[in-house]
Amino acid sequence: MSGQQTYVSLMRLTQKGLSELTDSTQRRKVSEERVAALGGRSVAFYALLGSYDFLQIFEMPSNEAMLQYVLTARRDGHVEPLIIPAFDTTAYSQILQAMA
């Protein structure tokens, strides 16, 4: 496994996020800078239809780095994120082999 862990974030805009929607492109740049400062990277970002407004995929060096990022983002008050750790097929296969 690599030194980076993958996380999927499903985000809903808050009322503040909706009222400041035209600034969302700039906020996304700030988000990517914060991720990079913590040793991670934003792999992909999508706007969604349905129950969630955005999906973002991150690679971060640790749960602690991801938590620091999420708490900072939540403090800003524009989105409410749901963070899901994700495992690629290599990591999943290694876990299955360890169980055998």
pTM (2 decimals)?
Answer: 0.87
Domain ranges of the chain: 5-99
pLDDT of residue 40: 97
CA distance 83 to 19: 24
Tokens of 96: 């299955």
Instruction: Give Dmax (Cα) for the chain.
Output: 52
User: What kind of fold does domain 5-99 have according to CATH?
Assistant: Alpha-Beta Plaits (3.30.70)
Nearest to 73 by CA among 28, 41, 42, 22: 28
Phi, psi for residue 87 in degrees, rounded to 5: -125, 125
Please classify residue 66 by burial: count the beta carbons closer than 10 Å to its beta carbon, then call 0-12 exposed, 13-18 middle and 19+ buried: buried
Q: pLDDT tens, position by position, for the chain (100 residues)?
A: 458 999 999 999 999 999 999 988 899 999 999 999 999 999 999 999 999 999 999 999 999 999 999 999 999 999 999 999 999 999 999 999 999 9
pLDDT of residue 1: 43
